[in-house]
Amino acid sequence: MSSLEEYKPRNWELVVCAVLFALWTVPAVLLDKPDVRVLGVPVLWFYYIALSVVTSLVITLMYLVEERWRL
């Protein structure tokens, strides 16, 4: 995409970004229980580790879908 083209995000991209933002910000208050562990890791740490993996996969898939639609 050249620098002269204007990019306008699609509605589904905005929804995905809003959901990811909510998942990153809201649950910290609900999951902050240091005594609860998942696979030996505090539940909040486990949540953010899993969420970071999911976020990177979603962003990669969004990029691949956008590249396919552009062709």
Every domain of the chain and the residues it spans: 33-71
Note whether 36 and 43 are within 8 A (CB).
Answer: yes
pLDDT digits (tens, 9 = 90+) for 6-29: 777 788 889 999 999 999 988 777
How much is the mean pLDDT over the chain? 83
| Helix, strand and coil in the chain, % to nearest 5 | 70, 5, 25
The yes-or-no verdict on residue 53 having pLDDT over 90 is yes
Helix H or strand E encompassing 48: helix 43-70
Can you tell me the mean pLDDT for 32-50?
A: 84
Query: Whole-prediction pTM value?
Result: 0.73
Q: How far is residue 61's CA from residue 34's CA, in Å, rounded to a whole number? A: 33
The yes-or-no verdict on residue 3 having pLDDT over 80 is no
Can you give the pLDDT at residue 30?
77
Q: Which two tokens stand for residue 42?
A: 């505090």
